Structure 1
Amino acid sequence: MRIGAHVRLDSDPIGFGEKLGADVIQLFVVDPRGWDKPTPHPRTEEILASPIDVVVHSSYQINVASLNNRLRMPSRNAVAQQAQAAAELGAFGLVVHGGHVRSDAELATGIDNWRKLFERQQDKGGFAVPILIENTAGGNHAMARHFDSIARLWDAVGDYGAGFCLDTCHAWAGGEELVGVVDRIKAITGRIDLVHRRWRLRRGRGGRSDASRAANGQCSVSLRSEAGIGPMWLRRLWFGHRGFAVC
């Protein structure tokens, strides 16, 4: 298992990863809150030459499930563009949030919009890197918050080679128990390509923050027992880095 962290220093991602002792780094290829088209990374040659593996996280506003054409169509384009940029860095995947719709009546269409993303890109030769769908923490009409929703989504996209990124704190905040979480997700998706564990001073279910849950041993113990992640990774989280493991 390779252990790593999200790198926020775009000026020297490999150098930052080396200081952390990371086996793998995650980074953005664009402003995560904008719609800009990716440009070549100034450290591309260094990233490609490094033994540190790379995964790219897509921008946050992407929502390929949306029924709003003004959001869905730019989202589709952004996924394709950022996947290509990820490939140019030698990344093994592009993490994309599951997205959401506005009502229960739109859920089936939202899932079908995910299918169309893969189907239409397949007609163009496929994505440049695997798309790793990440479970999300909130939203009553989210595509990938609850595991039963993820199962319906996977029925639509699984045959297209979609990968999965398991965010354990998203799962917990979304109402899923962490006990057996790995086996339950793998029973749905058949795979887990990446595990995220976030350290944030924010409120979760029951008004408890990540800090208080970790201090009580709730998130960290569950993650270590279910995903096999050891104390060294958790120490990085105490220093304010987002950590993850590659399975």
Structure 2
Amino acid sequence: MRIGAHVDSADPLSEAAARAAEAVQFFLSDPQGWKAPQPREDADRLRAAEVDLYVHAPYVINVATLNNRIRIPSRKLLLGHATAAAEIGAKGLIVHGGHVNAGDDLAVGFDNWRKTFAYAAESGGFALPVLIENTAGGDNACARRLDALARLWDAVGEYEVGFCLDTCHAHAGGEELLDLVDRVKAITGRIDLVHANNSKDAFDSGRDRHDNLGGGTIDPELVVAVIRAAGAPAIVETPGGVDGQGTDIAFLRDRLGAGSPAA
């Protein structure tokens, strides 16, 4: 079982080594901006690394929205990030489920997701697995609660779509972690990655604030149980840099019996 962390993009492999991580996740461009990712000088080194790589798409991407000024650039940027992530040998591109604005028809948002994959298929499809991530807040979200996730999968299930389960987002979004993996897999058929995060805020708060596994409002053993049941790699997106994330990785490795990276 591969365990790692979200790290700074400047030198992901050094960041992985500092945390004894077997996997890393990072951005390829400003997460709050619309600039396309640029070729990386370390692409050959990243492709050859034994560390598993995951790329997180920018937060601004929202392919579900009915606002064409956001939706059309979003799907182009998502396609560009998939191509760039594949070029460095990443195993997946994580993107948030998105939302529609208040008063808009959520059904159109789900169909806009379908159109996103259809749009990509016109140019040969996404260059690597796209992993849709559940989100913490919003009454008009496409992937906050499982009833919405089921409608989303009805729209995109004909395509090869992956899923990333975030434990903080599920807790803050109002989904109990107990037996969550079974309930998600009954909808998606798969969990490709777990974002193993505690939550600073209460259950169903709708607030996306991550905490270290030993803090927050989630019993850390529930996070361990989610990863074990999912049987998927885990990435901590927790605070504290090398020390905080390194402690979280060591905790998970100990509880999951995953051994050290050298084992």
205 and 112 in structure 1: CA distance in 2 versus 1, 3 angstrom threshold: same
> Match for 2:201: what amino acid?
R
CA shift for structure 1 position 147: 0.4
CA shift for structure 1 position 67: 0.3
21 and 29 in structure 1: CA distance in 2 versus 1, 3 angstrom threshold: same
Task: Give structure 1 regions of 4+ aligned residues with deviation exceeding 6 angstroms.
Answer: 206-209, 242-245
86 and 12 in structure 1: CA distance in 2 versus 1, 3 angstrom threshold: same
> Match for 1:240: what amino acid?
G
Aligned to 2:201: 203
CA shift for structure 1 position 237: 6.5
Aligned to 1:106: 105
1:57-103 superposed Cα distances (whole Å, 9 cap, x missing partner): 00001000000010001101100000001001101111010000013
- Work out the CA distance in 2 between the residues paired with 1:48 and 1:88: 8
CA shift for structure 1 position 214: 4.4
Aligned to 2:228: 228
1:173-192 pair list within 5 angstroms: 173-192=172-191
Aligned to 2:157: 158
Aligned to 2:7: 7
1:172-216 superposed Cα distances (whole Å, 9 cap, x missing partner): 10000000011110110000000002356x434477976599447
- Work out the CA distance in 1 between the residues paired with 2:35 and 2:212: 37
- Work out the CA distance in 1 between the residues paired with 2:184 and 2:107: 21
115 and 179 in structure 1: CA distance in 2 versus 1, 3 angstrom threshold: same
**Contact 1:65–1:114 (CA under 8 A) maintained in structure 2:** yes
TM-score (norm 2): 0.83
CA shift for structure 1 position 218: 3.0
- Work out the CA distance in 2 between the residues paired with 1:157 and 1:217: 33
163 and 213 in structure 1: CA distance in 2 versus 1, 3 angstrom threshold: closer
Identity of aligned residues (%): 49
Aligned to 2:244: 240
Q: Bigger shift: 33-42 or 214-223? A: 214-223
Structure with the higher helix share, 1 or 2? 1
- Work out the CA distance in 1 between the residues paired with 2:15 and 2:154: 39
2:70 corresponds to 1:66 = no
> Match for 2:111: what amino acid?
D
- Work out the CA distance in 1 between the residues paired with 2:93 and 2:135: 15
**Contact 2:201–2:216 (CA under 8 A) maintained in structure 1:** no
Unaligned runs of 5+ in 2: 230-234, 253-263
CA shift for structure 1 position 42: 2.5
**Contact 2:24–2:51 (CA under 8 A) maintained in structure 1:** yes
**Contact 2:113–2:156 (CA under 8 A) maintained in structure 1:** yes
**Contact 2:198–2:218 (CA under 8 A) maintained in structure 1:** no
**Contact 2:173–2:204 (CA under 8 A) maintained in structure 1:** no
CA shift for structure 1 position 104: 5.7
- Work out the CA distance in 2 between the residues paired with 1:67 and 1:4: 35
Match of 1:149, SS state, is: helix
> Match for 2:245: what amino acid?
H
Unaligned runs of 5+ in 1: none
